Amino acid sequence: MFSIFVPEMSENKSLHNALRQVRLQAGKFQICGFSISGLATYLQLPELDFCVDMGECPVSAIGLNHVFLTHAHGDHSRCLMRHHSLRRMMGIERPSVYYIPAELAKGAENWIHAEAMFEGVPEARFQLPTIVPMEVGKKVILEYRKDLALETFPVKHALSGKRYLPSMGATLFTHKNKLKEEYLHCTTSEIIALRKQGVQITREVFDPTITFMGDNLGDNLLDSSLSSIWNSEILVTECTFLDDGEQDMAENKGHTHIGKIVDALKKYGTDIHCKQIILTHFSMKYSVDHILETIQKNIPDEFKDRVSAFV
């Protein structure tokens, strides 16, 4: 009689679990998702009907209408088509809107079409999702949330030859109209009369609510041309590497070492207006305990209550 040896399998609890969705309170809203380097990144903001990246597409993402893609690497983008397909399968008639770096927009269209053909979708039934090419520095009002605007900025991430691959961070602004100062003293009846006369009595206001850096070199955080990221109420930035001796590895791979985050906090100091700084995209080799202990050890005391880990 033969016996089959089946090795005992147990979960390695020192490592991250890719099946566990993280939930973190960020100001007035919640960020739900997952972000581990090389595995997958997706960050959902249900209250804002918005998602950053689509490295995986859980059921909770299907109802979100707006998706911003930071760059094309598969652990951030591979389920974009899946999101589109599942919405159609679930009978969601409203087209989802994908905000993509302009340099990647045409390639994304070709990729989505090729994937549909690979799956056997008849050409006559194929329908491209709505893709909005994002240009640096231009605010775009979200399709179904007129109270929100998205503005992108370039970040340096991964080198391909002598050029960096197209990568963007973005800030989501609260968009509203406020009464111009010269009309603040007016009564309600006077305001109504001015409107009837066609007088423009309001001005657009954009308040930076949350900024996402995406995958990026730590030097981006020290770049004075990107100093506005520190004006957002919430900043979400990667922190792939933590340990001493990994600084060069972070640089070579186009990612951020915690040392650069510390350098940026020291550089900008009191000019940092973020109420919360959320670190994501840790290497899968670190345990949760190691991540939390290293953050506690390295982050300057004056920022400890503002910095949290998305784990």
Tell me the domains of the chain and their CATH numbers: 22-309 (3.60.15.10)
pLDDT tens for the chain, residues 1 to 311: 444 443 443 434 445 555 689 999 998 999 999 999 999 999 999 999 999 999 999 999 999 999 999 999 999 999 998 999 899 889 998 999 999 999 999 999 999 899 889 989 899 988 889 999 999 999 999 999 999 999 999 999 988 878 888 999 999 999 887 777 777 777 778 777 878 888 787 778 889 999 999 999 999 999 999 999 999 999 999 999 999 999 999 999 999 999 999 999 999 999 999 999 999 999 999 999 999 999 999 999 999 999 999 99
Report the Cα 94 to chain-centroid distance in Å. Answer: 22
Query: What's the number of CA atoms in the CB half-sphere (13 Å) around residue 267?
Result: 14
The first and second tokens of residue 62, run together, are 């299907």
Q: What are 46's two structure tokens?
A: 């249900």
How far is the C-alpha of 23 from the C-alpha of 31, rounded, in Å?
Answer: 6
What pLDDT score was predicted for residue 1?
A: 44
| Contact assessment for residue 21 and residue 60, using Cβ atoms and an 8 Å cutoff | yes
Six token digits for residue 204: 């657009």
Classify each residue of 203-233 as buried b or exposed e, where b means 16 or more C-beta atoms within 10 Å of its C-beta.
Answer: eeeeebbbbbbbbbbbebbbbeebeebbebb
Q: How far is CA 105 from CA 67, 101, 102, 128, 219, in A?
A: 13, 6, 5, 12, 26
Q: How far is 291 from 311, CA to CA, in rounded Å?
A: 9
Q: Which residues of 32-63 are buried (b: 16+ CB within 10 A; e: fewer)?
A: bbbbbbeebbbbbbeebbbbbbbbbbbeebee
Residue 82 has phi, psi (to 5 degrees) of: -65, -40
- Give the integer Cα–Cα distance in Å for 128 and 121: 12
Return the SS3 of 244: coil
Report pLDDT for 188: 79
CB neighbours (10 Å) of residue 236? Answer: 26
By three-state DSSP, how is residue 193 classified?
Answer: helix
Q: Can you give the pLDDT at residue 3?
A: 43
Give the gyration radius of the chain's Cα atoms: 22
Cβ-contact 180, 201 below 8 angstroms: yes
Report d(CA 203, CA 181) in Å as an integer.
9
